[in-house]
Amino acid sequence: MKISGLIEKHFWLILLAGILLGLWSPLPFKAPPVLPKILLGMMLFLAFLKIDALEVLENMRNFRLMIFLASVFMVAIPIVFYFSTRIFDADLAVGILLLTAMPAGVASPVLTDLAKGNLSLSMSLVIVTQFMAPFTVPLLFWVLSINSLSINKLLILKDIAILVFLPMIISQAVKRYLPRTIIKTQHLFTSVNVFILFAFVYIAISSQRNIILNNPASLIWKIALLYLVFILLHVIGYLICIKQKKENRIAVSIGAAYMNNGLAIVLAASYFKPDILVLMVLSEIPWNTLLAPFRKVIRQL
C-alpha cells in the first residue's frame, strides 16, 4: 500500500497524536492568532483542488435542501439540545447551545473527503451556515433570554472571505493553468491535509493545555457528555437526508457533527463563564477522534 493510502487509512492516529502532543509537550510560545486561519485556508485550498467550484454553486442552487439543512443545523438542533441538557444543568445547557449553534466547521470538507462523502455539498453547507451564523447565534440567545451576545458580523464575513472564497478562487485558477500537475499529484492532497489538520489540532490543544489539565478528574463526565452529543449529531445528520445518496448523507452528517468549535472557543472566552470555555476546549477531543469510528460504521451501511 502506498504511503498516502496508509496515512488516509490511519488518519485518526495522526489526529490523536496531535491531541496527546498538545497536552504533553505544548508549543513553547503563543502561536499567532492568524496561524490557525492560515492552516484552515491551506486545507480548504487542497480540498477545492479535488472538486469543481461549479458543483458547489449547483448545490447551493438547491434552495429547498439548503434552507432545510441550515434551519436544522443552526436552529432546531441547538434548541432541542439546549432544553434536553437544561433539565440537568442550566450552565451546561448554555455551553451545549453555544457549541451546537456554531456553523459547519471550515475543516469539515476535509473530513468529508476522508470519509468519502460529497465534497461539493459539504463545502456548500460550510458557506451557507457561515453566512447564517452572525444572525442565528445572537437570535437564539435573545429568544431564549440568555446573556446578550454581541458578534462582530463584519469580522465573521471577513473570515469567510479569507477562509472559504479565497482558497476557492485560487484553487480554480491553479486547476485551470496547471491541470496536468493537479492530476498527477491529486492522490496526495488528502494525506497532506491530514498533517495540516494535525498541526491545527496541536496548536489548538496547546493553547488551552493548562485549562484542560487543571482538574482532569472533574472533566471526565463533561467529555463523556460531549461524546454523546457528537454521536447524536452524527446520527441526526445521517438520518435527516435518508432519501439522499450515501455520499450526500455522509456530507450532511459531518456538517452537523463537526461544527466551527474554534469560533465557539473565541466567543466563550469573550462572553461566558470559564466553565463554558473549558467545555468548548474539551470539544476538540470528540471532534478529532470520532471520524474514524464513524467512517467504519458507514462502510457497513
User: What are the boundaries of each domain within the chain?
Assistant: 32-299
What integer is the mean pLDDT of 120-135? 86
Q: What is the DSSP string of 205-217?
A: HHHTHHHHHSSHH
The β-bridge partners of 259 are: 104
Q: Dmax over Cα atoms in the chain, in whole Å?
A: 58
* Cell digits of residue 95: 455551553
Q: Give me the architecture of the 32-299 domain, per CATH.
A: Up-down Bundle (1.20)
pTM for the model stands at 0.82
Share of the chain above pLDDT 70, in %: 93
Mean pLDDT of 133-142: 85
pLDDT digits (tens, 9 = 90+) for 22-57: 889 999 888 887 888 888 888 888 877 877 666 677
pLDDT at residue 160, rounded to an integer: 64
* Of 271, 267, 290, 265, nearest in space to 212 by CA: 265
Query: Over 90: is that where the pLDDT of 258 sits?
Result: yes
